[in-house]
Amino acid sequence: MRETVTIARPHAKPRALTEPRWVRYTLTALALGFLALFLLIPLVAVFWEALSKGFGTYLASFHDVYAWHAIKLTLIVVAASVICNGVFGITAAWAITKFSFRGKSLLLTLIDLPFAVSPVIAGLIFVLLFGLQGVFGPWLRDHDLKMIFAVPGIVLATMFITFPFVARELIPVMQSQGTEEEEAARVLGAGGWRIFWRITLPNIKWGLLYGLILCSARAMGEFGAVSVVSGHISGRTNTLPLHIEILYNEYQFVSAFACASLLTLLALVTLVVKSLVEWHTHRIEALAEAEAFEDRPEGADSPHQPLHPHRDHP
Amino acid sequence: MPILLHKRSILPGFGLTLGFTVLYLGLLVLLPLSALVIKTLDMTWAQFWSTVTAPQVVASYKLSFGTALAAAAINVVFGLLVAWVLVRYHFYGKRFVDAMVDLPFALPTAVAGIALTSLYAPTGWIGQWLEPLGIRVVFAPLGIIVALTFISLPFVVRTVQPVLEDLGKEVEEAAASLGASRLQIFTHIILPELWPAILTGFALAFARAVGEFGSIVFISGNIPMKTEITPLLIFSKLEQFRYAEATAIGVVMLGASFILLLVINFMQRWANKRMAF
């Protein structure tokens, strides 16, 4: 039997602890106005421009060999970076949260690096490494391999930009969960893989899902780094964002915004998933708290009593 | 000197996971970064210095850091406001608004670039009202500030919001019962608690804005000496195959990023220490 625990919350706030009504309304209006100007209007503008010549023209924008190729290449790049960075994120989070070792903060700083490095520099370092004048350039040419102005370079640059996301999502989640459950499983004789699949993964799946979604959203939209290493060869090395740039510069605004609307929809899906994951984790936390409350021995505070009995303020 | 500290953990996989992590970071991050160092060492100091202090380059630093500073400052003011409204007030559609704040993290920068450019162009929805007032946004530094404000919008909100949520009501209640006005409570009690979070958000927003490329390409017009930001300068040097010059400017930017990263780490540690009290 589960009884609902209600925590009494006075509806009317004491006046000294909030602002006068007109201040509250003004501040809310200012904040919402700012967000509407910077977030909502640009969002609406993308779809408005894409559909400005009607739905037929909108759909016709995708009947284009180059657009299709750009979409396919983008999907390949996303798949490659999500798989590699997912594996990296899980192993890095495992090493960082389950053990204490020297140089951990240095490792954490390294993982944060792409957040502080300009995407153009991310592209530049791969050009310097694999370009014709680069460190491995002559060797690659002798073996007839191409990294820069080709798909491998695009994948590498995208991986560089997006590798922190899964790790950064998982580290706090695994840190807060501690190591007790895994240690118990170990003591009971479970092997490493079994501990991971049966204990750790179920605990981190929501954080992992959000990390992977965030990683794929960024991989899909990466522009600066990819722009440097791709060489903009239509039908060969153009990802969707680069294709949008070319269309825009050719004044094909409807097509440019049509492709942009596709990426915008995916961005909105990311936001929805994020909200769902947050809602889910909050619910689990609230449930765990309520259960911990119920499990207290008889004779302690009865669950019907509010946690902090509030007296109504005069 | 042992790598593993404390007693040996009974959990398996330390060697495997740390080894893989270090190998991955080594190949993906350290190796490419070392190429940057090797390329820089090819240049003489005089060459390096004349490249990174050329008038066009210095103009780009000023523009990049100036606009990023302006955008981060705008986001401190409005980020604090948005976080405050989201935590303290109740209004219809709050959860929707809360989710929307992360849009700049999820939206590709190129999409943001073309959307903002079409809005603020002289014929655009917003630009048509600013044009008669003589305010030029597109192909002007103001446009860069607008784009940078968009892409760095979530940082201050997301750093301030959790601190504001955890802030105990007790101190405010105590201050109120001692006769403090609402404004006094805000400036003397709440704001001092928020400063570390605000500064961290500012630094994160600034770091992100300085390196931004995708959205600026469209809105700035890339006029040398006027609206050419540093990442764009590096990009155009690369397109002209002037790799050494691009590398030198890249090293300067990377140095600035490292300093920012250190400052952010330091501030986060400071904030954590304060929270521990």
CB pair distance less than 8 Å for A92 and B81:
no
CB pair distance less than 8 Å for B4 and A110:
no
In this structure, are residues A220 and B108 in contact, taking their beta carbons and an 8 Å threshold?
yes
Closest CA to B196 of B123, B273, B249, B259: B273
Residues in chain A: 314
Of B30, B99, B247, the CB nearest to A275: B99
Q: How much is the pLDDT for B6?
A: 59
Token representation of residue B203: 């630094």
Token representation of residue A2: 């589960």
Does the pLDDT value for residue A304 go beyond 50? no
Helices and strands (DSSP H and E) totals, chain A = 15, 0
Rounded to 5 degrees, what are φ and ψ at A25? -65, -40
Q: Mind listing the pLDDT tens digit of every residue in chain B (277 residues)?
A: 556 665 567 788 888 889 999 999 999 999 988 888 888 888 889 989 999 999 999 999 999 999 999 999 999 999 999 999 999 998 998 989 999 999 998 999 999 999 999 999 998 899 889 988 988 889 999 999 999 999 999 999 999 999 998 887 888 888 888 888 888 888 888 888 888 889 889 988 998 999 999 999 999 988 888 899 999 999 999 888 888 899 999 999 988 888 887 887 787 777 777 665 5
Q: Which residue of B has its CA nearest to A96?
A: B18
Per-residue DSSP letter, A132: T
CA B149/CA A172 separation, integer angstroms: 28
CA A53/CA A46 separation, integer angstroms: 13
Of A42, A94, A133, the CB nearest to B17: A94
Residues in chain B: 277
CA A107/CA A113 separation, integer angstroms: 10
**Torsion over CA: A140, A145, A147, A150 (sign):** positive
Quote the strand ranges of B129-200, DSSP E.
none
Residue B50 Cα, gap to closest chain A Cα (Å): 20
Closest CA to A208 of A172, A170, A174: A170
**CB interface of B with A, residues 142-181, below 8 Å:** 149-150, 153, 169, 172-173, 176-177
Give the highest mean pLDDT range of A226-240, A300-314, B130-144: B130-144
Q: How much is the pLDDT for B222?
A: 85
**CB interface of A with B, residues 227-266, below 8 Å:** 227-228, 241-242, 244-245, 248, 253, 256-257, 260, 263-264
In this structure, are residues B113 and B186 in contact, taking their beta carbons and an 8 Å threshold?
no
In this structure, are residues B93 and B101 in contact, taking their beta carbons and an 8 Å threshold?
no
CA B106/CA B128 separation, integer angstroms: 28
- Residues of chain A in contact with residue B234, where contact means CB-CB under 8 angstroms, are 118, 120-121, 124
Which band of pLDDT confidence, cut at 50, 70 and 90, is reported for residue A1?
A: very low
CB pair distance less than 8 Å for A111 and B25:
yes
CA A204/CA B134 separation, integer angstroms: 54
CB pair distance less than 8 Å for B14 and A41:
no
Question: What DSSP line would sit under A80-127, residue for residue?
Answer: HHHHHHHHHHHHHHHHHHH--BTTHHHHHHHHHHHHHS-HHHHHHHHH
Q: How much is the pLDDT for A18?
A: 78
- Residues of chain B in contact with residue A46, where contact means CB-CB under 8 angstroms, are 111, 115
CA distances from A295 to A8, A275, A283, A287, B88 (A): 20, 30, 18, 12, 32
Token representation of residue A278: 């947050």
Per-residue DSSP letter, A311: P
Query: Which CATH architecture does the domain made up of B45-276 adopt?
Result: Orthogonal Bundle (1.10)
Sequence spans of domains, chain B: 45-276
What is the reported pTM?
0.87
Task: Work out the widest C-alpha separation in chain B, in whole angstroms.
Answer: 72
> What residues are paired with B4 via a beta bridge?
A101
Closest CA to A88 of B30, B29, B17: B17
Rounded to 5 degrees, what are φ and ψ at A101? -145, 165
- Residues of chain B in contact with residue A92, where contact means CB-CB under 8 angstroms, are 17, 21, 24
Closest CA to B141 of B112, B120, B118, B114: B120
Of B24, B111, B243, the CB nearest to A88: B24
Q: Which residue of B has its CA nearest to A252?
A: B114
B32 touches chain A (CB under 8 A): yes
Q: Find the Cα–Cα–Cα–Cα dihedral B266, B270, B272, B277, rounded to 10°.
A: 170
**CB interface of A with B, residues 152-191, below 8 Å:** 156, 159-160, 163, 179, 182-183, 186-187, 191
Residue B190 DSSP SS3: helix
